A and B are shown apart, each in its own frame.
Chain A
């Protein structure tokens, strides 16, 4: 299965600034996903990123706040914009290969703290 390198692993940011999280996959994948995990909580899907098209956002998440890029089949970025303390979470990217519904591969996560 694919291996995903995610960075940064953690960051402490000032409110009002933006942070871009990167995920690099070691093989081509059709679908990539971005999740948020608030402290002690489960994962909530932010958006699905397809190569060559705009990301599809879930209810409660908007492109202006969480712009996503997917320039090719091995890379994606998520930007958390105009951050506030409520954005403090773990952000995870995930990938699925081909049309298979086998288990997904996850990056190691980015622990974001906004002060």
Chain B
């Protein structure tokens, strides 16, 4: 499959809890990106982590990358109802292509 794998497919949590989403891929990457998509709209770029980085933070977001396991995780801390969205990892493998994961649907209950 062209896509990366993401789990869980869907996640439902209470406001204030942390949400963790995982992404695995098959090929070597230059960088890995995470995007958010609200209600079938356009994607919003959240964070990019390069292949030589292991962890990156941006506000309430924490991304880790383990190139030996070909996996990444996105942690959203202290979640809010407004975080309800689909989250996609995207692998940049060189050249001009970016391969998207299958996505995790996050629902944060107020």
Contact = CB atoms under 8 A, between A and B. Distances in A.
A109 B102 contact: no
Interface in B32-48: 33, 35, 40-48
Nearest to A9: B41
Contact of B40 (A42, A45, A101, A111): A111
Nearest to A89: B40
A12 interface: no
Interface string A44-62: 1100100000000000000
A42 B101 contact: yes
Interface of B: 2-3, 30-31, 33, 35, 40-48, 88, 90, 92, 96-98, 100-103
A108 interface: yes
B96 A96 contact: yes
Contacts of B44: 106
Given A92-B42, A106-B42, A106-B43, A42 B100 contact: yes
A15 B44 CA distance: 31
A42 B89 CA distance: 10
Interface of A: 1, 4, 6, 31, 33, 37, 41-45, 48, 90, 92, 94, 96, 101-109, 111
Nearest to B1: A42
A42 B46 CA distance: 17
A73 to B, nearest CB: 15
Contact of B97 (A45, A92, A108): A45
A93 B99 CA distance: 15
